[in-house]
Amino acid sequence: MRITVLGTGYVGLVTGACLAELGNDVICMDVDLKKIDGLKQGIIPFYEPGLESMVKRNCLADRLRFITDLSQQERPSEVYYVAVGTPSDEEGFADLQYVLAAVRMIGQHIDNYCVIVDKSTVPVGVADKVQAAVREELKNRGLDQLSFDVVSNPEFLKEGAAIEDFMKPDRLVVGYPTDKAKEVMSQLYAPIIRAHGGKILYMSVKDAEMSKYAVNAMLAARISFMNEMAMICEKLGVDVDNVRLGIGSDSRIGEKFLFPGCGYGGSCFPKDVKALVGMAKDQGIEPIILQAVETRNALQKHVLAEKVRRVLGNDLSGITIAVWGLAFKPETDDMREASSQVFIDDVIKAGARVRAYDPVAQNSARRTFPEHYFSSGHLQILDDQYAALEEAELLVILTEWKSFLYPNLTLLTSTLRQKIIIDGRNIYDPAEMQQHGFLYSGIGRGVSLD
């Protein structure tokens, strides 16, 4: 099929590259000239395992091309994916200006039936606005009778495993308005279903739009629930890791997304929970559970700084803290809503200096934190995880990268000024760390710093 993807961010670029890998003729369009020039040279603007080689391979095969304007297409496509950003506005609602600008652009260029696929996370009912915006552009061109369909096909990609999720999905959700649109989407995804199984869940467009928000809100709720359980466990001297196993072994619940930590981040959970809260309030519904999810997550991001202050005192002036992990999760360089931002802000405001290491997110972090943190010497980002330990009183774990799982305990002992580890992701065994002489505190592991 001829496919155009509008937006070369995380979702757009992964979608375009994977569709090209399936043999389609794909064009990715973005108004960011610098980004498009980089992509033409094989430069990927973010880190995702396997994506760079896939993009280069399909560009060489001429199945994947990059443009900055739809007028650069040789001919209109059969399917248009809209994968532009929908950031939260001041009230928590999804900002639709980029979506509507993108679909207006489509309306200015199509001259044959096509399916417009909303891949961006949008509130319920946005497909109607997309339909109206495209119809208005067609009317301006005198093409009132040209038919098209708007489909909702929300993405459920996990950063760090996006290609696997796209190519081997456990399910695809497709909200369709007509049988013709359903047939197009069936043909498009048939190679994936044939090769790897899975299923396509067909439903109304509004049902599909709501599904995306509901999934992310449920996963966020599980994380916040476990974080709250961890806080209770810590006070009672209970190891939440064993509690997690007890909960997860119940077939009605399952074991995924039950790992407590120092708060969730990224581009989806925080934004989508906020948007769902906004949608509920807009309908006169008080979203008690969703607001509690947000509140617990916000509080959780301050827990590690509180632990540091309990060990070293409220005034951290002259104290150096080592940090391992900056990205919001492993296998990505995404710093959006990362717990590291809150922790580093907290301890620097208390006077501390931070020496941080992340295997992938160094450059993203340098762009994320305020410049005065670096110029004042309060924040250094190192290229070696053990160099980050130098001059540090203690080590704080913020991201569960695999390279942190089995540390060189000899180097840890000889480099840290005090044998203290505060583990925000529970990657170490408390008993083992205590056996090696470390004061160790995780999240709800039943070990009190008092």
DSSP code for 404:
G
The tokens for 325 are: 């992990």
Q: What angle do CA 39, 45, 50 make, to 5 degrees?
A: 85
Q: Which of 28, 114, 233, 268 is catalytic?
A: 268
CA distance 428 to 116: 47
CA 401 vs CA 254, 330, 358, 385: distances in Å: 24, 5, 8, 11
Alpha carbon distance 279, 257 (integer Å)? 25
What DSSP letter does each residue of 87-155 carry, written as one string? -B-TTSPBP-HHHHHHHHHHHTT--S--EEEE-S---TTHHHHHHHHHHHHHHHTT-TT---EEEE---
Contact indicator for 400, 425 with CB cutoff of 8 Å: yes
Cα distance between residue 386 and residue 160, in whole Å: 24
Buried b (16+ CB within 10 A) or exposed e, 194-224: eeeeeebeeeebbebbbbbbeebbebbbbbb
Active site (annotated) includes residue 268: yes
Partnered with residue 152 across adjacent β-strands are 118, 175
Catalytic residues: 268
